[in-house]
Structure 1
């Protein structure tokens, strides 16, 4: 207790010594005196006799004693007053109300207001707020003027783009305010457009709402606009498509502010204006994470990410950093990708406890050594081959990497008592029509076979050559789960980078079929879902994201062409080339027989399908498919996959 008091006294001395604190405190003393004098002058119509003056001077010490400590407790001396905002004004109001109420209570208790005017203290509260708040506002105003003066005002030689803003909400207000605060920025806002008719002819910081979005073409012709800016941070997919279409009709260049997922604490910056992104087409609200649950199983833990250099794996590493892990083991077979994410974590995120492991996950002795050395508590298994056409031509690689590799990493996880194991799966595992999807479906079945309720030590002994097995262990400590989702925008396997490259080269954009559809999600969404699933599973579940309606690829290609400033069909041809081998017309997220169960997360569902495979039969098929893969027997691999998965069909399916 004594130590705490001494530390508090030292802290107060340090604060009091500061020049700014002393200056503000001095002016506040003067303003409190002034507020009380003005209250008396107003109450007694400008006449102050000796009795009234004596009352003033007798009450002032009590005012100082009561109000100044409360002002300090209310953080009125810790703010940077050159940045005074509504938050600071609310603090002043609270401090004034509390201190005035306490002052009146004390005077009532001591004197019963004998000879004192009650209305004086009401006026005193008003003038105290007016003067104290006015001082802070004056400081901010003078600071802004000084900053503007030192920058030489608005530079005359800057070529400014004349902007028309689509939207008249909070994001627009922040952009206008930032432009006023930063005269160096090369923009000039001419007007605003908004579909809310009640906003027409109203102003935000003296910038007028000229009309609705439907008036965009006419207004752009009437005014000398250089560029359009979509300033609606939370636009839905439908709204964004409409605004893009209207912008396209004007022939003017157009951009957008960052979406809500990229805005920190609601701060929109004019410097963050970006080109329209294909992620705008998703139109879903941001996935919200249960931070506490995720933190409980990641904070200070050793986490391993297989395929950590890939698009999903590297984003997982970035997201995991938010929860302060003890160590991240990044396991990847690609030297360049592994080095890239290692350097990013170390130098951009200043995370030094990163262990890069270069190797194949099917190398059981390597995975065993890594887990023995570093003892990971959580594994995110994102390593997989995922290019459908390539794996149709090289199915043995799908077997070795997606099936045998997954089993190897699961074997080692059980032996080294990893607490949680999250398998990254795909919607192509549902009624698979290609080797890639079939291999991922078998990985899901492996996950369920290894879950506690289905675990059989025969599986554990099967691939455990080189690992010392504890045959006395009747069950294991690892909770297995899987996460299934659709196509990931911008990942190495996504069609979007191909489309963008084709558009940049002048076309054509190749689409397999006019009616082909896919589910889409962003890379951050995928990583967040994986992290969330890790906190929710009890064992054996498959989690999926509510992804809305599937997107027609032909429409997506058309929208991308428009976004990149081209005209579909006339400037950029869309060419239909037919479904490739093993490719579906429609993707699904649920296998027949899997029961959908809601979770406590609004965006996540869980599938609790029953594991119906015979362990002995499954084991025999795994041995056989591995033999076929080792001999590079493409036909034989597909036959065994069909034995394992009756729902698998080696061909196109609509």
Structure 2
């Protein structure tokens, strides 16, 4: 009932109510002043003789209240300015009462009217403050307010608490501060607790959000505190000081985003690479691994080529749903077919290619996270090698025109299981290319793709957001980089350039030192690197040591024999391959190892058939026989 009354009154109705209340306060104040005066002056005239004076003063009070704009003050905005106007209103009423007293009633002493003015100031101010408190309580009880804990009881925290105390949707509950002298004190009406009490406070007081009000400490320190609080399960926000917000001090060090050209160590090539619409327009295309970072970008660029049909294959339900939804929004009228399944399912793959009359297969499905594949050798080999063999065989039997395998620079003299699985997949495709008369098989070899899942860029961004440290396996590590857009364009171009058995690579310039990349990203985020030269820096670069099977430097070519293509930035590698008998033997042994869950035998297959680097640790020490 009360909540309905508070929220249903119109602005005009509220102003009338405020005016009537001010008039009532004038009468109450004058009667109170008369009663106080009567205690020391028993000769005052009777109250009935003073009724005309009280009534006339009340009417004057109504006019004075409206003149000073008091009914137009909202309760929530009534502050020092409002109190000053209330004092003016009381003074005008007192002077008017003195004048009216000369003509409407027996003469009264001037001190009585002074008391009247003081009482009216107190009453005019008090009723508004009490009404504001009661109205806010009624209104807030009808709302589901966000409960906030403020971390930092300094000046910014106190200003925030005062500001939030007037907000109808947010309820400041308490402070937390590292300063022991403030703990257990009451600041800005809120109790201050120690940081150790945060988990208990969040649970007991049902805290929805923690606001960090500590602008004097560095951003990495704030990030570390925020990370710890998020692990408790509470939403965390950081706040600059109010002086910074209005420009009294520098808001924050200017942040310059790191140029992709700087990260790549060269100019981006998207504008230099030729278009591919002619090769895919009106065609029926299958993309495996369509929900991944490379596969999804392939799909986006394919849509621009206006194919007749795009079949999306992925075993990740979320990934497949996301890319299908995005593509349908981009091109509502195109035939887009989502297939939830694995490339290891030969029957399913054959049915898809037959039913949708597939003309080109872009095979991007693979396990590519190096440490995970190193720990899951059999799963990685099964998906990356056997899956490629199954899909390539089905494509040849279905009469698919082009089959493009997405490979990796880690396939060149690999020192880890993931790289070895990609090299074996290349050898499988090269073998089929030598024996296929209808399907043109080719491969594309990438460097590290900026922003793809599992790549170093998102990892560094996450570590910087947490306040560091940024982890680096070795100060000397270098990598080739390309953008997702470049990678997808290279795959599509490979399909149009392919003759059969080709290995295409992109001229990516010089490899990029990862330590330099880490420093660029830290400084680009507005922080400084903490090292021996700058011990007071924000974020440290921590060297963790090379992971099992990781190289210091990646390569793109097994041999240095290169052939030209129609574009000078795309190179065709001329490399050796295994015979049909050797491939058959390798696949037979690998299938036996997978069926028998024999990881050692799988590693022996790698060691025997894959050229590996000198520092190989994942593939064993057995040289290829």
TM-score, structure 1 normalization? 0.53
From 372, 376, 391, the counterpart of 2:358: 376
* 1:549-603 C-alpha deviation (Å, 9 max, x unpaired): 10111110111001111111121011000000010011000103x5112222021
Give me the whole-angstrom Cα distance separating, in 1, the residues matched to 2:333 and 2:598: 45
From 523, 529, 539, the counterpart of 1:562: 523
Aligned to 1:633: 598
User: Residue 277 of structure 1: CA displacement?
Assistant: 5.2
Mapping of residues 58-457 of structure 1, within 5 Å: 252-255=253-256, 275-276=257-258, 278=260, 280-282=262-264, 283-288=266-271, 294-451=276-433, 454-455=434-435
User: Residue 514 of structure 1: CA displacement?
Assistant: 0.4
From 592, 599, 603, the counterpart of 2:569: 603
Asked if the contact 2:468–2:540 (Cα under 8 Å) also holds between the matched residues in 1, the reply is yes
Structure 1 residue matching 2:539: 3-state secondary structure: coil
Asked which structure has the greater CA Rg, the reply is 2
User: Residue 633 of structure 1: CA displacement?
Assistant: 2.0
Structure 2 residue matching 1:380: 3-state secondary structure: strand
User: Residue 348 of structure 1: CA displacement?
Assistant: 3.3
Structure 1 residue matching 2:583: 3-state secondary structure: helix
User: Residue 254 of structure 1: CA displacement?
Assistant: 4.3
Give me the whole-angstrom Cα distance separating, in 2, the residues matched to 1:652 and 1:518: 19
* 1:323-351 C-alpha deviation (Å, 9 max, x unpaired): 11000000001000000000000013435
From 482, 504, 526, the counterpart of 1:543: 504
1:642 aligns with 2:625: no
Aligned to 1:574: 541
Structure 2 residue matching 1:425: 3-state secondary structure: strand
User: Residue 278 of structure 1: CA displacement?
Assistant: 5.0
* 1:82-125 C-alpha deviation (Å, 9 max, x unpaired): xxxxxxxxxxxxxxxxxxxxxxxxxxxxxxxxxxxxxxxxxxxx
From 437, 440, 443, the counterpart of 1:482: 443
* 1:124-147 C-alpha deviation (Å, 9 max, x unpaired): xxxxxxxxxxxxxxxxxxxxxxxx
TM-score, structure 2 normalization? 0.56
Asked if the contact 2:344–2:391 (Cα under 8 Å) also holds between the matched residues in 1, the reply is yes
Asked if the contact 2:261–2:268 (Cα under 8 Å) also holds between the matched residues in 1, the reply is no
Aligned residues: 362
Task: In structure 2, list runs of 5 or more residues that go unmatched.
Answer: 1-249, 531-536, 620-625
Give me the whole-angstrom Cα distance separating, in 1, the residues matched to 2:270 and 2:618: 33
Give me the whole-angstrom Cα distance separating, in 2, the residues matched to 1:498 and 1:555: 15
Q: 1:492 to 1:605 in 2, by over 3 A?
A: same
* 1:370-390 C-alpha deviation (Å, 9 max, x unpaired): 111101101100000001111
Task: In structure 1, list runs of 5 or more residues that go unmatched.
Answer: 1-248, 256-274, 456-474
Q: 1:599 to 1:376 in 2, by over 3 A?
A: same
Aligned to 1:591: 558
User: Residue 506 of structure 1: CA displacement?
Assistant: 0.7
Give me the whole-angstrom Cα distance separating, in 2, the residues matched to 1:433 and 1:652: 6
User: Residue 360 of structure 1: CA displacement?
Assistant: 0.6
Structure 2 residue matching 1:584: 3-state secondary structure: coil
1:513 aligns with 2:474: yes
Q: 1:590 to 1:290 in 2, by over 3 A?
A: closer
Q: 1:616 to 1:525 in 2, by over 3 A?
A: same
User: Residue 495 of structure 1: CA displacement?
Assistant: 0.9
Give me the whole-angstrom Cα distance separating, in 2, the residues matched to 1:352 and 1:567: 49
User: Residue 355 of structure 1: CA displacement?
Assistant: 0.3
User: Residue 297 of structure 1: CA displacement?
Assistant: 2.3
Aligned to 1:492: 453
Give me the whole-angstrom Cα distance separating, in 1, the residues matched to 2:523 and 2:452: 22
* 1:213-266 C-alpha deviation (Å, 9 max, x unpaired): xxxxxxxxxxxxxxxxxxxxxxxxxxxxxxxxxxxx9974245xxxxxxxxxxx
Q: 1:487 to 1:526 in 2, by over 3 A?
A: same
Give me the whole-angstrom Cα distance separating, in 1, the residues matched to 2:607 and 2:523: 43
User: Residue 410 of structure 1: CA displacement?
Assistant: 0.4
User: Residue 634 of structure 1: CA displacement?
Assistant: 1.9
- RMSD over equivalenced CA pairs, Å: 2.0
Aligned to 2:180: none
User: Residue 395 of structure 1: CA displacement?
Assistant: 0.7
Structure 2 residue matching 1:573: 3-state secondary structure: strand
